[in-house]
């Protein structure tokens, strides 16, 4: 009797989300794959042999990964062909910081083996814009709102989550309830934080597809609300937020 093979070989279009060194010579690579969502694969010899994965295991690289699945839960990366390296991304700290933030968002907001083809394509599109130096701070916020929505965590900025009227000039923001609440309803939400009406309006317009760049004060207010929202839903702060702050970009 022939025993059924427990090894499945397949190829997946992937984006490298992050890598961690393992032992002396190996690396564990977390990939965002088009067909199977996030998965981590063991890349044996990745740090010793440059020939085996030439330039393929840098975060943000778009590649065709040849993978082997063993026993249904562990993966081995056998080979990787670079489709796009996005090497301009790594030419300045601002772009590095924004790309790492985008990658961390996708890594933290999705689960293993849960395919998100639209999010995959939206990440690829964002990385391409960043590579061509065509994505500023408002594009990052737009990407973030889009990622949150596609991952099932869409914050609502208009209308008021409670009375469904306009959020008005003195809204509050409650990450637990999922968004903005008007000044009239605010007393019923004691854990909400005060927000600026113009920030909430700007985020709502961005969510609707308007692409006017935000001025600095709006960006900073928007960043505060989104950090609070993401931290509340993940139970921790994204590491790359601190890196964005350190290099002074938003």
- Binding residues vs Zn ion (CB under 5 A): 160, 162-163, 182, 185
- Using CA atoms, how far apart are residues 199 and 181, in angstroms rounded to an integer? 13
What's the min distance (Å) between Cβ of 214 and Zn ion? 24
* Residue 155 phi, psi dihedral angles, 5° rounding: -75, 150
What's the min distance (Å) between Cβ of 197 and Zn ion? 13
What's the min distance (Å) between Cβ of 186 and Zn ion? 8
What's the min distance (Å) between Cβ of 154 and Zn ion? 19
* Residue 216 phi, psi dihedral angles, 5° rounding: -55, -40
Select from 5, 4, 16 the least CA-distant residue to 65. Answer: 16
Q: Which is nearer to Zn ion, 124 or 199 (CB)?
A: 199
Q: Which is nearer to Zn ion, 85 or 184 (CB)?
A: 184
Q: Which is nearer to Zn ion, 79 or 177 (CB)?
A: 177
Strand arrangement of the beta sheet that strand 179-181 belongs to: 179-181, 172-174, 193-194
Q: Which is nearer to Zn ion, 52 or 162 (CB)?
A: 162
What's the min distance (Å) between Cβ of 153 and Zn ion? 21
What's the min distance (Å) between Cβ of 241 and Zn ion? 30
Angle between helices 239-247 and 93-109 (to 10 degrees): 170
Q: Which is nearer to Zn ion, 16 or 180 (CB)?
A: 180
Q: Which is nearer to Zn ion, 136 or 159 (CB)?
A: 159
């Amino acid at each position: 009797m022939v025993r059924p093979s427990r090894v499945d070989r397949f190829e997946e279009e992937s984006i490298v989300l992050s890598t961690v060194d393992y032992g002396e010579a190996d690396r564990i690579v977390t990939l965002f794959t088009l067909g199977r969502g996030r998965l981590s694969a063991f890349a044996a010899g990745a740090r010793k042999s440059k020939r085996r994965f030439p330039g393929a295991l840098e975060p943000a690289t778009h590649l065709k990964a040849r993978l082997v699945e063993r026993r249904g839960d562990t993966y081995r990366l056998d080979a990787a062909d670079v489709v796009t390296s996005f090497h301009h991304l790594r030419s300045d700290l601002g772009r590095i910081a924004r790309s790492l933030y985008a990658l961390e968002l996708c890594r933290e907001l999705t689960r293993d083996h849960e395919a998100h083809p639209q999010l995959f394509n939206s990440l690829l599109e964002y990385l391409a814009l960043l590579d061509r130096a065509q994505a500023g701070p408002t594009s990052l916020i737009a990407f973030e709102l889009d990622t949150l929505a596609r991952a099932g965590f869409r914050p609502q900025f208009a209308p008021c989550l409670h009375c469904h009227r306009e959020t008005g000039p003195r809204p509050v923001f409650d990450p637990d309830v999922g968004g903005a609440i008007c000044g009239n309803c605010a007393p019923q939400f004691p854990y909400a934080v005060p927000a600026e009406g113009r920030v909430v309006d700007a985020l709502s317009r961005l969510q609707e597809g308007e692409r006017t760049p935000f001025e600095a004060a709006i960006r900073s207010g928007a960043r505060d609300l989104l950090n609070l929202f993401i931290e509340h839903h993940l139970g921790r702060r994204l590491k790359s937020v601190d890196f964005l702050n350190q290099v002074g970009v938003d």
